[in-house]
Chains A and B, each alone.
Chain A
Amino acid sequence: MTIAATGLDLNGICVTRGNTQILERIDMCVGRGQFVSVIGPNGAGKSTLLRSIARAVTPNAGEIYLDGDDLLRMPIGALARRVAVLAQEHPPDVEFTVQEMVTLGRIPHRTALSGITTSERAIIMHALEQVGMAGRAHRGFSSLSGGERTRVLLARAMAQQPDYLLLDEPTNHLDIRYQLELIELVRGLGVTVVAALHDLNLAAAHSDVIVMLADGRVHTTGAPAEVLTPANILAVFEVATTVVAHPDHGRPQLLFGLPHGTSSRVAS
């Protein structure tokens, strides 16, 4: 086995909780600059896979290498300078302003005694401008809409100046326009992205590589057109699919229906 000098390498990652095996020997490669989507039905292990990379869960076995460095054993502060996470967050009990929220993204770059310098302020304002929230820097975070909150959390992640961005189902509960805006924003940031996505068409339209999980294992991995075939989708999601090329960009888009013979069973 060779470790790639750049990119994110997962080798044989296993996660168990109690007696349940949540992830079983996951292998995955993410090249620098790629947008990699992890898809799969609920309970397939998408979130757990991302949380393993973020060190929120500890794998029972396996290794993860980040640009050749052992990710599972590096200090958490060093990891946060290279990998940022965008996940659904409950609004906290305490009230932060948008600017205070984004300032938290500078934590991994500061020591216990360093204050917020002018250059830090510039990084924070730049992150807010990237997500179009600079005009609302002093608003209370919990007074924002769901879409605005997600953008602020993205700005916080960008203030970490990471090489990698993990998106853990960031578009759940967002209106379709916010979903598309968010993905567009993220793609324009020039970071390597690993995204757990619920929406297969979103994944199909924006991913370089798709990793399809089923029952904690990698079912198929590859380019969207290779992974999102009717046979694979029937096996993993149990739906019948018609694949069409998007008239604008030619990427695969999926039309779903219940497999023949099961609709009557559901109805009866």
Chain B
Amino acid sequence: MTSSPAPLPARELLGPRAPLGPLLGAAMLLLVVSIPAGVMTGAADIPMRAVIATLRSALTGQAAEGVSSGTINIIWELRLPRVLLACIVGAGLAAVGTMMQATVRNPLADPYILGVSSGASVGAAAVILFNSFGLRGAFGAHALSVAGFGGALAAMVVVYLIARSPFGLVPTRLILGGIAAGHVFAAITSVLIFLGDPRAASGVLFWLLGGLGRAQWVLLPIPALALGVTFLYALARAPWLNAISLGDDAARSLGVPVDHFRRMMFFTVSLLTGVMVAISGAIGFVGLILPHMVRFLVGSDHRRVLLLGLPIGAAFMVWADLVARTVVAPQVLPVGVVTAAVGGPLFIVLLVRRTRASL
């Protein structure tokens, strides 16, 4: 730290933390309500009855009575994968934001602000536009995920090297370096678009804004798996995340192998970010805002933040996508536009609350 940071205005804690169980239950309930709401709403409104009948028929194998095959198709091939992808990406961004904010010890960190999403975009755009590195041959449908992961990891390392000094991570350099690196990566993506196949370019542009329109069943397993692995690792190491958020020296004195752990965190964060960006583009500010929302509810213990962040992140993204699909219907906004419109101002609020601190 360059100077003694002023703590965020903390609520005076006078009693024990709110118990996690009821909050988790409420969040799960919210998610269970959100998923059918997300499936019902869109260009064509679908009644709840049809959604339930279709889901029941999928589970039992019996035909859904009174539901047209077109409706079933919309529910099954368009809406449901899209809503499930929103859940995965929302939960994933909440986890990634929580992990990043602890690891780089900065409550303003998120993959979008630190340029990691932009790095992932470069990798994915290179594959879409040029089939670079022969990845499509080697990895087929998952080439984008592999390229996104590579780009994200490269960006994470670059930003970390910028922010590092002999006295530890400099928070100002981390944020400013991340924003600058993000712009450089965005410029590289623009050059790729400019030079690439013009027919592919408009698709890339729309995808860059962050959207869930590419959702298909076959694309879901990879991000789901990445989320599962990353989440379980972070949950098992939640005490280490607590310790490292106090500072490297403190964490070391508590027995945390700080350098090794930070490398592992960068690796897993890049993995999940890269895989998510490959399918949904760079959705901004969600990874920043959700950890703050969850910490407001359950405090800073990372086990609690990670667990509650999962359903809250998923539900948040389902609703954000619902807004994106309905606010200018029949047009569909990229969900990244919605999250940026909500998240940008909240970022400014967080920034202003830290005026006395060094970013």
Contact = CB atoms under 8 A, between A and B. Distances in A.
Interface of A: 17, 51, 54-56, 75-81, 83-85, 87, 89-97, 100, 103-108, 110, 112-113, 138-140, 142-143, 156, 160
Question: Top 4 nearest A-B pairs by Cβ distance?
Answer: A80-B255, A108-B255, A94-B300, A140-B13
Contact of B13 (A87, A97, A105, A108): A97
A107 B4 contact: no
Interface in B1-29: 1, 4-5, 7-8, 10-17
B247 A90 contact: yes
B288 to A, nearest CB: 14
A192 to B, nearest CB: 16
A107 B239 contact: yes
7 contacts: A75-B257, A76-B252, A79-B255, A107-B254, A112-B237, A138-B13, A156-B254
B254 A160 contact: yes
Residue of B13, B107, B301 most packed against chain A (CB within 10 A)? B13
A264 B301 CA distance: 58
A92 B245 contact: yes
A112 B236 contact: yes
A96 B303 CA distance: 13
A97 B14 contact: no
Contacts of A108: 254-255
Given A77-B257, A107-B256, A96 B299 contact: yes
Interface of B: 1, 4-5, 7-8, 10-17, 102, 105-107, 166, 236-237, 239-240, 242-243, 245-250, 252-258, 295, 299-301, 357
B252 A55 contact: yes
A104 B256 CA distance: 11
A77 B253 CA distance: 9
A100 B246 contact: no
A75 B295 CA distance: 32
B13 A143 contact: yes
Given A94-B295, A112-B236, A76 B255 contact: yes
A166 to B, nearest CB: 8
A198 to B, nearest CB: 18
Nearest to A166: B253
B299 A138 contact: no
Contacts of B239: 103-104, 106-107, 110
B247 A89 contact: yes
Nearest to A111: B236
Given A77-B257, A100-B301, A89 B12 contact: no
B255 A97 contact: no
B254 A104 contact: yes
Given A76-B256, A100-B242, A107-B255, A140 B249 contact: no
Contacts of A138: 13-17
A109 to B, nearest CB: 9
A94 B292 CA distance: 10
A89 B246 contact: yes
A239 B236 CA distance: 55
B252 to A, nearest CB: 6
A105 B248 CA distance: 15
A139 B15 CA distance: 7
Contacts of A83: 253
A97 B295 CA distance: 13
Contact of B246 (A54, A56, A76, A104): A104
Given A104-B254, A107-B255, A142 B247 contact: no
Contacts of B248: 56
A56 B247 CA distance: 11
Contact of A100 (B12, B14, B252, B299): B299
B16 to A, nearest CB: 5
Given A93-B105, A112-B236, A142 B7 contact: yes
Contacts of B255: 76-81, 107-108, 160
B13 A93 contact: no
Contacts of A78: 255
B279 to A, nearest CB: 30
B254 A139 contact: no
Given A110-B239, A138-B13, A143-B10, A94 B253 contact: no
A140 B11 contact: yes
B249 A96 contact: no
Contact of B106 (A17, A93, A96, A142): A93
Contact of A104 (B13, B243, B257): B243
Given A77-B256, A97-B299, A100-B300, 19 more contacts: A76-B257, A77-B257, A80-B253, A83-B253, A89-B250, A90-B247, A93-B7, A94-B245, A94-B300, A95-B11, A95-B13, A100-B301, A104-B246, A107-B239, A112-B237, A138-B17, A140-B12, A140-B13, A143-B12
B249 to A, nearest CB: 5
A12 to B, nearest CB: 23
A263 B148 CA distance: 68
Given A81-B255, A107-B254, A97 B17 contact: yes
B10 A90 contact: no
Contact of A105 (B106, B166, B237, B254): B254
Residue of A77, A93, A96, A100 most packed against chain B (CB within 10 A)? A93
